[in-house]
Amino acid sequence: MPRWTRALVLGFLSWLIPFVISFAAFPIKKSNAPLFSTLMTLVVLITAGVLLKIYFRDRAPFITESMIVGAMWLAVNLIFDYPMFAYGPMKMAAGKYYSEIGLTYLIFPLFALGAARLVPQQQQKAAEA
């Protein structure tokens, strides 16, 4: 069963941490947009890994719960992020936002699923040793 409060708080952090780092790294975007994009993808990936470890700190991740949490974090990121880019100073069209930024947030459910699927394999290897 998902821990809703923990999932929501960490979901907000999954948006806030990359958002703050993007402000610090924004000058790179003007001089080297592909580098900025790669750096931000890495930031989202690292954030996902750290926050999922915190979420599941006292138990093994299960696939269903991992997918629920990952989907929730995807939704949280889009809910907070899209209005800023669509209606804020950047005024990005939906297609441009989702192709440049929004799809990156699929990292959360995909990473969560991958992490949960690794657990049974690790438990099997430990039992065999």
Q: For the chain, give the mean pLDDT.
A: 89
Which comes out higher in pLDDT, residue 2 or 120? 2
| pLDDT tens sequence across 85-110 | 888 888 888 898 888 888 899 999 99
Domains in the chain: boundaries: 4-128
124 — pLDDT class (breaks 50, 70, 90): very low
Alpha-carbon distance 121 to 117, whole Å? 8
Digit-coded pLDDT (tens) for 4-38:
999 999 999 999 999 999 999 999 999 999 999 99
- pTM, whole model, 2 decimals? 0.85
Q: Once rounded to an integer, what is the mean pLDDT over residues 59-82?
A: 93
Nearest to 88 by CA among 29, 30, 23: 23
Residue closest to 22 by CA, chosen among 88, 93, 71, 67: 88
Place of tokens 């936002």: 97
Q: Which pLDDT does position 61 carry in this prediction?
A: 87
CA 60 to chain centre: 19
Q: How far apart are CA 123 and CA 10, in angstroms?
A: 26
